[in-house]
Copies of this chain bind each other. A is one copy, B any other.
Amino acid sequence: MQQAVDFKGFTRIRRVAAIAVNTHGGRAKCLQRLIRLDFPVPETVALSFDAVHRIADGQMTDVDTLLGIFGTKPLLSVRPSSEDPDWGGPGAMLNVGMNDARHAELTQSHGAEAADGLYLRFVQSYSVHVARLDPDMFEFDKDATTAAALKTALAAYMDETDEPFPQEPAVQLAEVLRSMARAWEGTTARLLRQAKGAPAEAGLGLVVQAMALGVGPGESGAGVMQLVDEVSGAPLIKGRYLRQAQGRDAMAAGAQTQVMFLTRDKRGSSLEADCPEIFAELVRISKLCRVKLREEMQIEFTIENGKLALIDAVRVQRSARAALHVAVDLARDNIIPKSEAVTRIAPRSLTELLHPQIDPRGSRSLITTGIAASPGGASGKAVFTSAAAQASAARGEPCILVRRETAPEDIRGMHSAAGVLTERGGMSSHAAVIARGIGVPCVVGASEISISMRGHAFTTARGVTIKEGEIITLDGTTGQVLAGEADMLAPALDDHFVELMDWADSFRDIGVRANADTPKDAATARNFSAEGIGLCRTEHMFFDGDRLTVMREMIFAKAPADRAEALSRLLPMQRADFIELFQIMQGLPVCIRLFDPPLHEFLPHDRAGLRELAEALDLPLSDVTRRVEYLSEFNPMLGMRGVRLGITIPEIYDMQARAIFEATIEASTQRGGEAVVPEIMVPLISAKREVELVKTRIDAVAAAVRNETGKQFTYRLGVMVETPRAALRAGDIAANAAFLSFGTNDLTQMTYGLSRDDAGRFMNTYVQQGVYPEDPFHVLDVEGVGELLAIGAERGRARHPGVTLSVCGEHGGNPESIAFCRAHGFDYVSCSPYRVPVARLAAAQLAIKSRES
């Protein structure tokens, strides 16, 4: 079968040998490191990426020479060695070199059971993976003896291939190498690794190692050891050992009954108790590995007749929490510098550490239970379609997406939802996998509920019906579904987390604030060390309870004076809101966006609501209907809102400015006279004159408040840059603005001409077809929207060098967007409170990276 010209392409792994991750793969390199540490690693040979590629192409390495390295009777393992272990690769092949003769010898030396087992394992894997025979033919009942199974397997191979099982080790090895090389080139394998970030041309190395048998006389077996818990990150000696076993058999589920734990514990025998010297050596090796390889490693070892062999070491797979603990502990132990600890944590992985939990002390109105698929608690309005979830998110209202089950087209909806509840599915269902990935609390398989997609409602087995818009709470940690909103506890931010973030902040060179509208948001923001509020939307201050009634009276007022009168009743409420925010933020900056939504959002649109309103206002229904119709808009996003309302109905901004200034005075008094300096942000600016007009009125309100109270205070007036024109004219606009804060949500909508509320129906198609590389509402469009940001920043700063620049759209928390803002000299980013740690970490990593390069 070996028609191709032989070539070499392999290297014995020695202390000094040209082995590199990008030529021979990570496993080969790691083994070299272990050898350099004088660990008892069996003879190992590495085949380079290039060699494996040539083998896949039909050439063959010089197998005879290769075999010669391992002596006269080689028994070998072959394992993959790619650049990144996450990219996968073919499974390991053990016992290459087994044949009838070797079997006979080993029967003598190690006993029949051991020899049969070794031969059987090779025949099985060779038949299935190399000869590609039907795997079912090589599976045997548990009660079949190993001897019988071996006999059957050899016969089956003969039956299927019309040839006896290959006896020549050189033939065996060549075929194993070829099959592993070709498996790497397969389309499926390629797509899978590319999905994990592998480049198209990613290579595979192979590692050929002399087997340490782990079976036979004396203490023989195989196991793994690590020094850390992969879930909690806590330091502890952890691992398994299985006698008369090879490779990672100890980890196989079926081995659980005979498996031994390493350390002494109450469950009987252990390696520590039975073989204290070997155990001590393993601990020594593990600890040295941690220090020298600068990482928590899991070592793979074999004991052959009392003699320890170190087969391999791999990075401990770990949860986000464990990763954080490991990085911090390595830095605390001075194994890695703090900057490296900071860069080792993927910023997005923090999300799952930060989610609030439902307060166990609160009362729970349980309506049903499902599988706890993604941890954390979440409350929000029930919605039944991804589109509704996206629309809700666009309105800034948390929602729980309720689906029978989810599919890829729901991913955007899941991103938008505070939590996900499904009727069907288990821990590995689409909903569960995605929700964990994006850190959204999720309960799946709540099979007691019955969803009516038409009715936009679900009913529980207890007969409770939840309609769209009603608030429910998910406990993704317990699987409970509750009616209403539950009290939440902030996540436990342990000392490791706090320490890592402190280190991050010491490197970071761009500010991070939070978008926070309510005292609760503000408290969360403080908890996550936001350096202020970058966007406080004030809409909710007009919607809540009685305030809505007052707003409606304002809308129906006949004259400016009547409007001002209605608004004056909102003044004390808003003042109290602002005082509370200032108190929570303890002198940190609070950037308050003036009223933004169109007035029609405050009015009912259905018949019943209109009738009710007419009665409440004591007006004819026709008057109310006409007013509502008059205020309705074709394109509310592009309509009468923001500063346009502020200019045509200036009483609203007047009232808000007064509430802010009066709250400023009160909060300063409460802080013992320490100045509170509010920031006032004008939304939807498109022309400099808008800023001038608003500034004139707000300055007048400030003067009036100073006059009335005899108190002094200062404030900063700035602009939300969210229309393309504002970005283009940022020079003009900055002349009258203390700060420019770029609202990338609206800016993206207008730059693309794309309503976020309406884009859901085609965004999937668009991203799938590569029309947009990413949903621009999730990942900042650097080419288009980004250019407007860059233009705006440059012009704003050129005209007004002291102007503060920031981004307060939802992109503010994305590492890519932070990189962009940092590169363009922005002062800070502002994002949702739970994204603040992500942003702090991402910003620190950028600073470290730029310092290093």
Q: How far is the CB of A600 from chain B (nearest CB, A)?
A: 11
Type the 1/0 row for A621-641, where 1 means its CB is closer than 8 Å to any CB of B: 000000000000111111110
Q: Is A757 an interface residue (CB 8 A)?
A: yes
18 further A-B contacts with Cβ under 8 Å, apart from A634-B636, A638-B753, are A633-B757, A635-B637, A635-B758, A638-B752, A638-B758, A648-B761, A686-B752, A686-B784, A687-B771, A689-B770, A689-B771, A722-B753, A723-B752, A725-B752, A725-B785, A729-B783, A746-B753, A750-B753
Judge if A749 is at the interface, Cβ distance under 8 Å: yes
Instruction: List the B side residues contacting A769 at CB < 8 Å.
Output: 647, 689, 693
Closest 8 CB pairs of A and B: A638-B755, A635-B755, A723-B753, A725-B784, A639-B758, A634-B757, A724-B724, A635-B637
Q: Is the beta-carbon distance between B784 and A728 smaller than 8 angstroms? A: yes
Say whether, besides A391-B634, A634-B636, A693-B771, A750 and B724 are in contact (CB < 8 Å). yes
Q: Which of B647, B723, B751, B754 contacts A766 (CB 8 A)?
A: B647
List chain B residues, Cβ under 8 A from A723: 751-753
Contact assessment for B751 and A633 in the assembled complex, using a CB-CB cutoff below 8 Å = no
Q: How many angstroms from the CA of A633 to the CA of B750 in the assembled complex?
A: 16
- Whether B640 and A762, one on each chain, are in contact in the complex, defined by CB atoms closer than 8 angstroms, is yes
Q: Tell me which residues from 777 to 805 in chain A have a Cβ below 8 Å from any Cβ of chain B.
A: 781, 783-785, 787-788
Could you list 20 A-B pairs, sorted by A, with CB under 8 Å? A635-B638, A637-B753, A638-B638, A638-B752, A644-B766, A647-B769, A647-B771, A648-B762, A648-B765, A686-B753, A686-B754, A689-B771, A689-B772, A690-B771, A723-B753, A724-B724, A725-B751, A725-B781, A728-B783, A728-B788
Say yes or no for A684: interface residue by CB 8 A criterion.
yes
State the CA gap A759–B647 with chains docked (Å). Answer: 13
Oligomeric state, in copies: 2
How far, in whole Å, are A741 and B672 apart by their CA atoms in the complex?
63
Q: Which residues of chain B come closer than 8 Å to A771, judged between CB atoms? A: 647, 687, 689-690, 693
Residue in B closest to A690 when the chains form the complex, CB atoms: B771
The residue that A729 contacts in the complex, of B633, B722, B784, with Cβ under 8 A, is: B784
Residues in A358-393 with C-beta less than 8 Å from chain B: 391
Is B751 a contact of A787 with CB atoms below 8 Å? Answer: no
B-chain residues with CB within 8 Å of residue A751 when the two chains form the complex: 686, 723-725, 728, 750
Give the complex CA separation of A771 and B650 in angstroms.
14
**A633, A635, A693, A723 — most chain B CB neighbours (10 Å):** A635
Question: Are A634 and B755 interface neighbours, CB within 8 A?
Answer: yes
Which residues in B have their C-beta under 8 angstroms from that of A684?
753
Within 8 A of B (CB), among A704-757: 722-725, 728-729, 746, 749-755, 757
Task: Classify the secondary structure of A's interface with B.
Answer: helix
| A513-546 interface with B by 8 A CB criterion | none
Give the distance to chain B from A632, nearest Cβ to Cβ, in Å: 9
Check if B686 sits within 8 Å of A758, measured CB to CB: no
**A725: nearest chain-B partner, CB-CB:** B784
Residue of A633, A648, A725 most packed against chain B (CB within 10 A): A725
A771 to B693, CA, bound (A): 8
Q: How far is the CA of A637 from the CA of B757 in the complex (A)?
A: 12
A228 to chain B, nearest CB (A): 45
Contact partners of A724 in chain B: CB under 8 A: 724, 750-751, 753, 784, 788
Q: For residues 638 through 665 of chain A, which have their beta carbon under 8 Å from a beta carbon of chain B?
A: 638-640, 644, 647-648
**Chain B residues with CB under 8 A of A788:** 724, 728
**B residues less than 8 Å from A722 (CB atoms):** 753
Is there an interface contact between B725 and A640, defined as CB atoms closer than 8 Å?
no
Closest residue of chain B to A760, judged by CB? B640
How far apart are A820's CB and chain B's nearest CB, in angstroms? 15
Given contacts A647-B771, A689-B770, is CB(A640)–CB(B758) below 8 Å? Answer: yes
Contacts of A781 in B (CB 8 A): 725
CA distance A93 to B759 in the complex (A): 72
Kindly state the separation between the CA atoms of A752 and B641 in the bound complex, as whole angstroms.
Answer: 13
- How close is A696's CB to chain B, nearest CB, in angstroms? 11
Q: Which of A639, A648, A723, A758 has the most CB of B within 10 A?
A: A758
Instruction: Collect the chain B residues with CB atoms within 8 Å of residue A633's CB.
Output: 755, 757-758
List, in ascending order, chain B residues with CB within 8 A of A784's CB. 686, 724-725, 728-729
| Distance to closest chain B CB from A734 (angstroms) | 15
Q: What B residues does A772 contact at CB under 8 A? A: 687, 689
B contact residues around A725 at 8 Å (CB): 751-753, 781, 784-785
Distance between A481 CB and nearest chain B CB, rounded to angstroms: 27
Contacts of A754 in B (CB 8 A): 638, 686
Known A687-B772, A689-B771, A750-B751; contact A761-B640, beta-carbon cutoff 8 A:
yes
Asked if B638 and A637 make an inter-chain contact with CB atoms under 8 angstroms apart, the answer reads yes
The CB with the most chain B CB atoms within 10 A, among A636, A761, A765, A770, is that of A761
Knowing A690-B771, A724-B784, A724-B788 are in contact, say whether A755-B647 is a contact too (CB < 8 A): no
Interface centre among A637, A689, A770, A771 (most CB of B within 10 A): A771
A690 contacts across to B, CB distance below 8 A: 771
Give the CA-CA distance A761 to B639 in the complex, in Å: 9
Interface residues of A in 670-719 (CB under 8 A from B): 684, 686-687, 689-690, 693
Once bound together, how far apart are the Cα atoms of A635 and B788, in whole Å? Answer: 23
Q: Would you give the shortest CB distance from A633 to chain B, in whole angstroms?
A: 4
State the CA gap A832–B545 with chains docked (Å). Answer: 52
